[in-house]
Amino acid sequence: MAKKMLEVNQLTTKYITRQGEDVYSVDHVSLDIEEGKSLGIAGESGCGKSTLALSLMGYYFPPLHYTSGSIVVDGKDITGLDPDVVRKTVLGTDIAYIPQAAMNALNPTRKVGKFIEDVIKAHELPMDKKQIREMAEQRFARLGLPVEALDKYSVELSGGMRQRVVIAVSTILNPKVLIADEPSSALDVTSQKMVIKMMKDMLASGLVKSMIFITHELPLLYNVTDDIMVMYAGQIVERGSAHEMVFDPVHPYSRGLMRSILVPEEGTRDVKLTAIPGTPPNLKHPPAGCRFAERCRYATNACRYNAMPILEFAPGRTYRCGHSVEHLREVYASEDEE
């Protein structure tokens, strides 16, 4: 069995609102990724996927707070470490992050090369300016980025280039886990493809040892990651391989998501788009039972009042639902016949 790069156990984090209320937007999340693998996280906006990305780094600042659970990166538990130790030895080296708004992720008044210098220096690595420059140049050349970009400010780069530069900067220290939060949603399809190719190449060549990819674009996720995990209201509701999740989703919410995929392919026009009525619950007062029950057409009273654990029903496949897998599949099959 391949080495586990990231193991997250029952991680719970919360936001404390200005009114002092606790909002548990990541609730007992467990996940793991093996070396060389990628995991996709899907879900509606507000389901907690971006918060999960931030929570996984073990570095918290208000309004986000750590509550419980553990994060183990390549055998090292990073929860409970001193924040400055996390900053110096985990961020950028163990876990790197590509933010949602990568267009504005670079300091507008700092040249790319200088910023890389700041990153290296923040980790107190024994390198002088010349060595850092050499390393940056080599890395840019390897990733197919123009070396001149190092002497430019972010405003001087085009959107797609800026995005790829951010990825190059994030991964400059060869992180064990790369967390990418919607890295390509602001780009047009051609730039998106270039960004994705670059990220896949980095994973394949081992520059990055594993990857978490967050997006609401399911066709993209399907093509990028090995596994897909669906989040709903701060919890994981289902996990499986990308292929299984797209073609054989078990959880009613995952099924709703997967049935909303629209791609320019034969057959798409015949698909019946499924609308999921309603909105996700308010996490200030989460429902006692299944969090999706309010919107679920198969929900029973038991669903609404009994806490719902997550269960493994096949190797590598977990789900969180009050109905059995067989039952759900039967229902789906009869629906598809209609």
Q: Which of 68, 107, 131, 205 binds another protein (CB under 8 A)?
A: 107
Nearer to another protein, 2 or 262 (CB): 262
81 binding another protein? (CB under 8 A):
no
Q: Which of 104, 131, 138, 205 binds another protein (CB under 8 A)?
A: 104
Cis omega (within 30 of 0) for bond into 63:
yes
Nearer to another protein, 3 or 285 (CB): 285
Nearer to another protein, 39 or 293 (CB): 293
Strand pairing class (235-241; 227-232) = antiparallel
Phi and psi at residue 318, to the nearest 5°: -125, 155
Q: Using CB under 8 A, which residues numbered 168 to 187 contact another protein?
A: 169-170
Stretch that binds another protein, among 2-10, 11-19, 52-60, 68-76 (CB under 8 A): 52-60
Stretch that binds another protein, among 14-22, 30-38, 67-75, 97-105 (CB under 8 A): 97-105
Smallest gap from residue 1 Cβ to another protein (A):
25
DSSP 333: H
SS3 at position 225 = coil
Q: Which helix (H) or strand (E) holds 65?
A: strand 64-73
Q: Is the dihedral of CA 295, 297, 303, 305 positive or negative?
A: positive
DSSP 91: B
Q: Using CB under 8 A, which residues numbered 263 to 282 contact another protein?
A: 263-269, 271-279
Cis omega (within 30 of 0) for bond into 309:
no
3 binding another protein? (CB under 8 A):
no
38 binding another protein? (CB under 8 A):
no
Q: Using CB under 8 A, which residues numbered 207 to 226 contact another protein?
A: 216-220, 222-224
Sheet containing 95-98: order of strands: 95-98, 177-181, 211-214, 38-42, 227-232, 235-241, 317-319, 311-314
262 binding another protein? (CB under 8 A):
yes
Residue 92 pairs in a beta bridge with: none
Q: Which of 108, 315, 334, 336 binds another protein (CB under 8 A)?
A: 108
N- to C-terminal Cα separation, the chain = 43
Binding footprint of another protein, residue count (CB under 8 A): 92
Q: Which of 129, 284, 327, 329 binds another protein (CB under 8 A)?
A: 327
- Report the C-alpha gap between 306 and 284 in whole angstroms: 19
Stretch that binds another protein, among 17-25, 29-37, 206-214, 291-299 (CB under 8 A): 291-299
